[in-house]
Amino acid sequence: MATRILLGRLKNCAGSQLLAATRRHGTCGYVLDPSHNLDPELLEIQKVAKDFARQEMYPHMEKWDKEEHLPVDVIRKAGEIGFGAIYCSEKYGGSALTRLHSSVIFEQLAAGCASTAAYISIHNMCCWMIDQYGSEELKAKHLPKLTSCEELSSYCLTEPDSGSDAASLRTTARKQGDYYIVNGSKAFISGAGTSKKYVVMVRHEGQPGAKGIFCLLVEDGMPGFSQGKKESKLGWNSQPTRIITFEDCKVPVSNQIGKDNFGFNIAMAGLNGGRLNIASCSLGAAQQAVDLAIDHLKVRKQFGKTLSEFQWNQFRLAEFAAKVHTSR
């Protein structure tokens, strides 16, 4: 019902009123204004993210996609202004903000490049998991370089034979003295090949189901750790994706994140926040698509009129606006 009412209002506003609103606000009036109802602090953070996306990301988005290039230098600039660990504590370099802050930030970054913004969101998730569940020793050793984006990270849950059914993962870890010996593989790992740290969900040998899973921080270059070729994808190309393999990979016991048999809980907690982040990235891409459509409608002419003057286009724009607004 609410969506139908909003759509009706937008259609009533279609045409000259709607497009006049875009001239005043740079978007479809307040109903499409991402800053509507935000408090002054959030507005300032939103502006920083928006300016960063416009200056550092959007001008290069097409090139990054064509060249399949992850812009590490730009990600490090994002880390310098606090976007590398948005909701981590300040002790090791986090920004100590809320999930609402991160949602506002990722919406704006995605307008610059959705693929790169999504990777930054994954890096944030990894930092949070270490900050939330890691030992003080582990956090002190690894977080400063991660929160600043000096080093990047990847999240490793999915396997060739387990995706949505994460509790069935097969990668195993056997304790041997001061090390875990890890064997198995992970698939579709975003950032693999560039990341220096990997948050990996593994299984205690002989312990089936969700309760047998725990979490390790694996570092690039550890013996037995290797990466496959970069996957060929239809899009999302500024974000490299690879399979990674563990063959008797030696990981120090001190690199364990959280308690034994608590890995599945950690994985789900990370994904719960990650879903908010990726939804915000999708929203930012949708908002940018609508804004670009508006720009095109106001410039392109047919039959002596701009496309914005044709009622069918006005109604379609109103439908797009309603979907973006209800998503937000």
Q: Which residue has the tokens 């909701």?
A: 87
Q: What is the pLDDT along the chain (328 residues), one digit of tens a residue?
A: 433 433 344 344 444 444 444 444 444 444 567 767 788 999 999 999 999 999 999 999 999 999 999 999 999 999 999 999 999 999 999 999 999 999 999 999 999 999 999 999 999 999 999 999 999 999 999 999 999 999 999 999 999 988 778 899 999 999 999 999 999 999 999 999 999 999 999 999 889 999 999 999 999 999 999 999 999 999 989 999 999 999 999 999 999 999 999 999 999 999 999 999 999 999 998 999 888 888 888 989 899 898 888 888 888 888 888 888 888 8
Structure tokens at 165: 């059914």
Strand 213-219 relative to strand 197-204: parallel, antiparallel, unpaired?
antiparallel
Contacts of 74 (CB under 8 A, 6+ apart): 56, 57, 60, 116
Measured between alpha carbons, how far is 42 from 47 in angstroms, rounded to an integer? Answer: 8
pTM: predicted TM-score of the whole model, two decimal places: 0.87
- Alpha carbons 106 and 264: distance in angstroms, whole number: 26
Look at residues 288, 313, 328, 318 and name the one whose alpha carbon lies nearest to residue 4.
318
Phi-psi sector, 8: left (phi>0), alpha (psi -120 to 50), beta = alpha
Give burial (CB, 10 Å; 0-12/13-18/19+) of 22. Answer: buried
pLDDT of residue 143: 98
Predicted local distance difference test score (pLDDT) of residue 10: 38
Residue type, 211: K
Phi/psi region, residue 251 (left: phi>0; alpha: psi -120 to 50; beta: rest), is beta
Residue 176 has a pLDDT of 96
Asked if residues 146 and 153 have their Cβ atoms less than 8 Å apart, the reply is yes
Q: Exposed, middle or buried, 231 (CB in 10 Å: 0-12/13-18/19+)?
A: middle
* Residue given tokens 């930012």 in the structure block: 284
CA distance 192 to 227: 7
Sign of the Cα torsion 144, 80, 154, 109 reads positive
What per-residue confidence (pLDDT) applies to 320?
86
Closest CA to 214 of 195, 198, 231, 201: 201
Evaluate whether 238 touches 72 at the Cβ level (below 8 Å): no
Output the pLDDT for position 32.
64
Provide the Cα torsion 274, 276, 281, 285; round to 10°.
Answer: 150
Q: Output the pLDDT for position 313.
A: 87
Q: Please name each of the domains of the chain with its CATH number.
A: 2-149+269-327 (1.10.540.10), 153-265 (2.40.110.10)
Provide the pLDDT for residue 318.
86
Which pairing describes strands 241-252 and 179-190: parallel, antiparallel, or unpaired?
A: antiparallel
CA dihedral (104, 199, 188, 181) in degrees, to 10, reads: 180
